[in-house]
Amino acid sequence: MSTLLLLNGPNLGILGRREPEIYGTDTLADIEKAVAAEVSGAGWEVLSLQHDSEGDLVRDINRLHDSVGAIVNPGALMMAGWSLRDSLAAYPRPWIEVHLSNVWAREQFRHESVIAPLASGIVVGLGSLGYRLAARALLELVERNP
């Protein structure tokens, strides 16, 4: 069975209670179930990992190169996560960056992602639906380029 990585960075473990007016009320468990439902027809399983530490995310990416692809919400690491960027540069599969909120409609410091130029695509501002859309996109990308 193929494994899809669902990687979430700092503070995303408290989704559902963290500023619901910005991030919504879905929990990370809700998102994981929705992504699993999207990819189950392809025989993919979801490995969901969330870390508040950049080093833990880097370690997971580096050890899971045999996965089929990844959905990555780096949280605030998008702005200064240089070691995260380097590990994603070496990741040999397609991956999509996701943000629950529209980062360009928020504070100026959120307007640049150091990892975005490496991503196969980016989904922002669609809440938890963005994760499902990223999963659909990865299904297409992997099917076209096995």
Can you say which residues are annotated as belonging to the binding site?
73, 86, 100-101, 110
CA distance 125 to 22: 10
Residue count (the chain): 146
Active-site hit among 23, 51, 91, 131: 23
Tell me whether residue 91 is one of the annotated catalytic residues: no
Q: Are 29 and 16 in contact (CB under 8 A)?
A: no
Tell me whether residue 65 is one of the annotated catalytic residues: no
CA distance 70 to 65: 10
Binding site per annotation, positions for substrate: 73, 86, 100-101, 110
Active-site hit among 51, 65, 91, 99: 99
Q: What residues are labeled active site?
A: 23, 99
